[in-house]
């Protein structure tokens, strides 16, 4: 099939920042792109070839949109999976596949999938209600502290809380949930795996993630991870095993814990381009966004090696500010060598909302980390 400068249409469910960065690559290749998103103000709305406003969770909306395109993909996993399954049945190419999204959308089902495929993950219990969870704590079946996760529709730190005391149980949302054993880890790691329909597969280098202690959001992504080769190889092999267990097509970000005795436990996955791969735009031979396009269109996969060490700093809304966004001290960070900001196009900020990121590249990873701290301290995402 001729994808380039042709009548071919790539459909994307979701028009947020991941879609916006994906469009950089479709523009490069002159691939016609149609976007479906709930919001008329979505970052992709003004820069795609076609924009449709509609509910990603509505069966008819997704089916009708899918019928207008040749290949359908996602930039967010909160979509109507029944609609994707229907589109597959009538012959549409949908990547990632509906069967994989059905597993990944529910964190309880996802964890059970790892167990049934002999993929190491932290111990957990699933509960239909908060009352069931509280009873399990009272009966000493679940030990505090633990990590509480809503099984569905969590994002950007929402739907995930640390339970450190009995009183924390009162602040949990009433929903189906899991209680995960707290892992005593050295590092949080991630590996992005790309796989096309032919079965060609490639992995990006292992990255190390540093999280904000309260917001449960990634503050820094460091590539390469500062770990030894043996641990890196184990993390890569684990990610490959996960992708193969799913028979995944597209881009899969596998988040993992490196325990104190250097075991690797899978935390969770994202079936799309991911925060942990943003560094690749500046630091890699093939960005994760270009690789996603290559994978879903069954093109040869690109070189995943890094040209240089890269660190990504998330730009999130500062606490205490809400309203029309202002990026303070942008000129100061632009004056630093190797610093590239990416602004996502969200006009309004609120505390901890992802508004952009900054990539820092340097031959020396420790120098890159120092500059990343400098950038983090300088730039402020506030409101008018």
pLDDT in tens, 334-358: 999 999 999 999 999 999 999 999 9
Torsion sign (Cα): 176, 181, 184, 185: negative
In the annotated binding site for ATP, the residues are 107, 149, 180-183, 188, 267-268
What's residue 151's pLDDT? Answer: 94
- pLDDT tens per residue across span 100-124: 999 999 999 999 999 999 999 999 9
Q: Are 210 and 220 in contact (CB under 8 A)?
A: yes
| Cα separation, 272 vs 95, whole angstroms | 10
Distance (Å) of CA 318 to CA 278, 334, 351: 21, 20, 5
Model pTM score: 0.94
What percent of the chain lies above the pLDDT cut of 90? 93
Per-residue confidence band for 214, with pLDDT thresholds at 50, 70 and 90: low
| Cα separation, 93 vs 115, whole angstroms | 29
- DSSP letter (8 states) at residue 333: H
Query: Among 150-154, 256-260, 380-384, where is mean pLDDT lowest?
Result: 150-154
Architecture of the structural domain at 9-94: 3-Layer(aba) Sandwich (3.40)
What's residue 171's pLDDT? Answer: 86
- pLDDT tens per residue across span 259-284: 999 999 999 999 999 999 999 999 99
What's residue 124's pLDDT? Answer: 96
Q: Are 249 and 97 in contact (CB under 8 A)?
A: yes
In the annotated binding site, the residues are 107, 149, 180-183, 188, 267-268
Q: What is the pLDDT averaged over residues 188-195?
A: 98
For domain 123-181, the CATH class is alpha beta
The torsion of the CA quartet 65, 151, 212, 76, rounded to 10 degrees, works out to -10
- pLDDT tens per residue across span 301-321: 999 999 999 999 999 999 999
CATH 3.30.470.20 for domain 185-383, yes or no, is yes
Give the distance from CA 96 to its chain's centroid: 14
Q: Domain segments of the chain: what residues?
A: 9-94, 123-181, 185-383
| Cα separation, 255 vs 270, whole angstroms | 8
Neighbour tally for 169: CB within 10 Å:
16
């Amino acid at each position: 099939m001729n994808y380039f400068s042709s009548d071919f249409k790539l459909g994307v469910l979701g028009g947020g920042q991941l879609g916006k960065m994906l469009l950089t690559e479709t523009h490069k290749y002159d691939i016609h792109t149609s976007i479906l998103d709930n919001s008329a103000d979505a970052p992709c709305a003004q820069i795609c070839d076609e924009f449709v406003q509609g509910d990603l969770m509505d069966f008819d909306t997704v089916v009708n949109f899918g019928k207008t395109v040749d290949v359908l993909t996602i930039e967010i996993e909160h979509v109507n999976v029944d609609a994707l399954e229907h589109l597959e049945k009538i012959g549409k190419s949908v990547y990632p596949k509906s069967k994989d999204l059905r597993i990944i959308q529910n964190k309880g089902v996802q964890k059970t999938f790892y167990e049934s495929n002999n993929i190491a993950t932290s111990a957990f219990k699933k509960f239909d209600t908060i009352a069931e969870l509280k009873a399990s704590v009272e009966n000493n079946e679940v030990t505090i502290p633990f990590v509480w996760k809503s099984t569905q529709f969590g994002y950007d730190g929402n739907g995930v809380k640390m339970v450190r005391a009995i009183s924390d149980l009162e602040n949990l949302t009433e929903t189906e949930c899991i209680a995960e054993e707290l892992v005593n880890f050295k590092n949080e790691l991630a590996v992005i795996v790309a796989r096309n329909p032919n079965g060609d597969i490639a992995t990006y280098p292992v990255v190390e993630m540093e999280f904000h202690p309260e917001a449960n959001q990634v503050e820094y992504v460091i590539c390469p991870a500062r770990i030894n080769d043996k641990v890196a190889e184990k993390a890569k092999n684990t990610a490959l095993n996960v992708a193969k267990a799913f028979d995944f097509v597209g881009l899969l970000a596998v988040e993992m814990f490196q325990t104190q005795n250097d075991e690797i436990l899978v935390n969770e996955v994202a079936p799309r381009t991911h925060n942990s791969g943003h560094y690749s735009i500046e630091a890699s031979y093939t960005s994760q966004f270009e690789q996603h396009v290559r994978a879903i269109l069954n093109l040869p996969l690109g070189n995943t090696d890094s040209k240089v060490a890269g660190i990504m700093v998330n730009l999130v809304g500062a606490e205490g500010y809400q309203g029309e966004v202002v990026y303070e001290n942008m000129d100061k960070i632009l004056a630093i060598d190797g610093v590239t900001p990416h602004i996502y196009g969200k006009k309004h900020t609120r505390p901890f909302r992802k508004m952009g990121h900054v990539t820092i590249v340097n031959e020396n990873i420790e120098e890159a980390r120092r500059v990343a701290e400098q950038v983090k301290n300088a730039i402020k995402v506030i409101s008018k």
